[in-house]
Amino acid sequence: MSESRTFRLQRAMASLILDDEPEDIGAPAERLGLPAGDPQAFRDQPEAMDLYRELARLSLTEPLETTFPVLKALLEGAEVWEDCAQAFLSARVVRSTHYRDIAPSFLGWLVDTGWGQDRWPFLAELAHAELLEVLVARFPEADLRQDLHDEPGPGDVVWLDPGTQVVAYAHAVHRATEAAPVPEARPTHLLAFRDEEGEARVLELTAATATLLVQARTRPLAESAAALGLSDPAPALALLRDLRRQGAVLGFRAPH
């Protein structure tokens, strides 16, 4: 079945917005086999078509600029930010109608394509770290659980707040800044969570603490601590009490 004229006109507009700037703005419509009057209409309205290209591209790239300022500074320093944005737009990976999903779409595209990571192997980690606080701050609310208690016991498992993230990076990407955007290469463990005020907070963890937090979600605390060579679980229990007070941990319960 041949595609309708309306559909082909919409595709031509999408191409004009997302693809490399054509020398002839009527070319996308012409390639799609539209009647001669349609490509001509594009050519007859160059200022308006430029405006649409600018407005729509701004809608899609503004969330990247606000969410990934350090990554942008790094790529601007190497004069490839525009290339990166163009490659992202051309890939047409923004599928969600939720505006807040544009930045996660960019991260997904970066991971899937490996764009720029021959030169900057930390690029996806850097983008993930920049997005982390936003994702945690806006994580959907969960229903209150009635089966948790506040005081951890050696036989309990840990129940993290659903928004809490324990992440591991090969680079200290959380320390990168716009002025110094290249992170040090060293294993890094972070705990990102939402505090009582609903604000995102990020703590740097030791490798042992990060492992304990991951393992103790399914194994009793004493067993998890022993597996890590911690003969005395008391310091771990004290840390978990503190994380519960801060909001990262919802509570504790006996394993099923």
The Cα–Cα gap between 3 and 242 comes to 61
Name the one range near another protein by CB under 8 A: 76-84, 114-122, 131-139, 177-185. Answer: 131-139
With CB under 8 A as the contact rule, the residue among 2, 6, 206, 231 that binds another protein is 6
* Interaction between residue 38 and another protein (CB under 8 A): yes
Contacts of residues 45-54 at CB distance under 8 Å and 24 or more positions apart, as own/partner, are 49/16, 49/25, 52/13, 52/16, 52/17, 53/16, 53/17, 53/21
Shortest distance, CB of residue 159 to another protein, whole angstroms? 18
Residue 133 interacting with another protein (CB under 8 A)? no
- Cα torsion 107, 111, 112, 114: sign: positive
Measured in degrees and rounded to the nearest 5, phi and psi for residue 169 equal -125, 155
| Contacting residue, 20, 37, 79, 232, with another protein by CB under 8 A | 37
Residue 212's nearest CA partner among 152, 172, 163 is 152
Q: Which of residues 50-109 bind another protein (CB under 8 A)?
A: 51-52, 55-56, 59-60, 92-100, 102
Find the binder of another protein among 2, 79, 119, 140 (CB under 8 A).
140
- Are 146 and 201 contacting, i.e. CB atoms less than 8 angstroms apart? no
Q: How far is the CB of 63 from another protein (least distance, A)?
A: 9
Tell the smallest beta-carbon distance from residue 120 to another protein (Å): 27
Question: Which DSSP letter does residue 99 get?
Answer: G
Evaluate whether 43 touches 37 at the Cβ level (below 8 Å). no
Q: Which of residues 141-200 bind another protein (CB under 8 A)?
A: 141, 163, 194, 197-199
Question: Tokens 């919409």 map to which residue?
Answer: 10
Question: Exactly one of 13, 80, 208, 214 binds another protein (CB under 8 A); which one?
Answer: 13
Note whether 196 and 183 are within 8 A (CB): no
138 binds another protein (CB under 8 A): yes
Task: Kindly state the smallest distance separating residue 129's Cβ from another protein, in Å.
Answer: 19
Using CB under 8 A, which of 139, 222, 223, 228 touches another protein? 139
Q: Indicate the SS3 state at residue 28.
A: helix
Taking the C-alpha atoms of residue 152 and residue 129, their distance in angstroms, rounded to an integer, is 30
Q: Which is nearer to another protein, 20 or 197 (CB)?
A: 197
Residues that bind another protein (CB under 8 A): 4-7, 9-11, 13-14, 17-18, 29, 34-35, 37-38, 40-41, 45, 47-49, 51-52, 55-56, 59-60, 92-100, 102, 137-141, 163, 194, 197-199
